[in-house]
Amino acid sequence: MALQESRGEQLMIELQARDAWNQRDYVSAQQLAERAASVAAASDDEAGWWNATFLVSEALRKQGRMQQSKEIAEQLEIHPLTRESPALSARAATLMSFALQGTGNLAQAVTAARAGVRSAQEAPGQKSIQIEAQNALIAALADSDRLEEAWNECQILAELLSMEPPTQTTGLGHWAIGNVAFLLGHIGEGVSYHQLAAKHLSPTNDLDLWARFNRASASLRLTANVIEPETLECIERAELASSIVGGTERDRLELRLTRAQWLVLTGQFEAAIEQFGDVIAHKHLLATHTAAEAHFFLGRALSGQGRDSEARDNLEASEDLFLQSGAQERAAVARSLMDGIGT
């Protein structure tokens, strides 16, 4: 009877945790999932512990607490259940890859994502797990400036998506492919894939995801120097959605960074510098390569105003941070701009 009561309590807490997750209350989701994992461990329910602990890591990542998410993912990776199941191995490795990307450890993120893809391929009938693993690998390669490798993986993902009905999962896949297309300068394909993604990522279903997609789409367009009304519309949609859902401090900073990028590329240097102040002051909350982007564009804005010494300082900081994260090509671009100031 005591065991039945324990299982009933665990199920109730799990349902509460999932409800909090669906309401985007990630702090409550984390706390409830931790309780569910504790109850599951006390009743020797390994599968219940695994699923609850996975949710803890996901909720931490949603809060921007990437290091803690990584530490929980490490626990999952070495668990006996994970080692016995290709599907669980793929999920744990993919979770680890996303956490590593969030901390800026890009080389390790690529390694984890590749492990996730390999495990997913060994798990028959698990297309959604395979698609998510492929998404993680593409994102890690793209952030590492390994764009040709990322594009090759995009072709594999596109084939997987072609066999799937339109869902939010396929929308996420089209989003990932569009990102790489923009980075490679394939502007038409980037726009096309992001338009496909927008059809399947409904603001009605998940306003937080809609906000993040529009911010990311704007950022990639700006990286590709696509300064058109549609880019500004993406920024404005992201800002509106974020004002409703709130989001984490990290989300807010990334959105301010995107707005500041727009201002730099449209020659509004003074306004951009003002935006960057808050971002740079809280850069410890950002991934290393994202903080590098902030210093890079601030350096460009300062250079545009003739403030060469400050510009060089920020471009040097950008180069150092890109190198730390493993983004060698972007570090070289920062160095080139720094060398060209005042010459």
Sketch the domain layout of the chain as residue ranges.
164-247, 253-343
Predicted confidence (pLDDT) at residue 303 exceeds the cutoff of 90: yes
What is the pTM for the complete model shown?
Answer: 0.81
Q: Mean pLDDT throughout 12-30?
A: 90
Quick check: 212 pLDDT over 50?
yes
Report the pLDDT averaged over residues 138-157. Answer: 94
Confidence of residue 4 (pLDDT cuts 50, 70, 90): low
Confidence (pLDDT) at 6: 64
95-134 burial string, b = 16+ CB within 10 Å, else e? bbbbbbbbbbbbebbbbbbbbbbebbeebeebeebbbbbb
| pLDDT score recorded for residue 64 | 86
Rounded-to-integer distance, Cα 339 and Cα 306, Å = 15
2, pLDDT greater than 60: no
Per-residue pLDDT, averaged over 214-231, amounts to 89
pLDDT reading at 232 higher than 70? yes
Average pLDDT across the chain, whole number: 91
- CA 270 distance to own-chain centroid: 29
User: In the block, which residue shows the tokens 């009743």?
Assistant: 43
| Beta carbons within 10 angstroms of residue 267's beta carbon | 11
Confidence class of residue 1 from pLDDT cuts 50, 70 and 90?
A: very low
The length of the chain in residues reads 343
Residues 66/102, Cβ–Cβ less than 8 Å: yes
Q: For 40-89, write each residue's pLDDT tens digit.
A: 998 889 999 999 999 999 999 988 899 999 999 999 999 999 999 999 99
Q: Which fold has domain 253-343?
A: 1.25.40
How far, in Å, CA of 127 to CA of 156, rounded?
12
pLDDT of residue 7 exceeding 80, the answer is: no
